[in-house]
């Protein structure tokens, strides 16, 4: 199977090693941001994409997660 973002070999949870590392970083940092600012998940992901200091891997994961959330909303 291949990474849902870049088609590399899956490492864990639908992601290659590089995108999985970015995904775990996003999750860890969200907890910190949420405590400090009360930001919600969707807004946090949008902020990741807008931030010029965010790495490309994290931006790609954030974009993917936003798209997945939108699909879930449409299915309801």
Phi, then psi, of 14 in degrees rounded to 5:
75, 0
What integer pLDDT is reported at residue 75 of this predicted model? Answer: 67
DSSP 5-63: TT-PBP-BTTB-HHHHHHHHHHHHHHHHHHHHH---HHHHHHHHHH-TTS-HHHHHHHH
Q: What is the mean pLDDT of the chain?
A: 92
Q: What angle do CA 68, 42, 35 make, to 5 degrees?
A: 135
Q: If pLDDT is split at 50, 70 and 90, which confidence band does 19 have?
A: very high
**Model confidence over 38-53: pLDDT tens digits?**
899 999 999 999 999 9
Output the pTM of the full model.
Answer: 0.87
How many residues are recorded in the chain? 76
């Amino acid at each position: 199977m291949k990474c849902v973002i870049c088609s590399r070999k899956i490492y864990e949870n639908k992601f290659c090693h590089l995108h999985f590392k970015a995904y775990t970083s996003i999750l860890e940092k969200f907890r910190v941001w949420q405590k400090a600012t009360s930001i919600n998940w969707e807004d946090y992901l949008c902020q990741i994409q807008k931030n010029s200091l965010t790495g490309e891997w994290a931006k790609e994961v954030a974009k993917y997660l936003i798209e997945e959330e939108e699909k879930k909303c449409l299915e309801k």
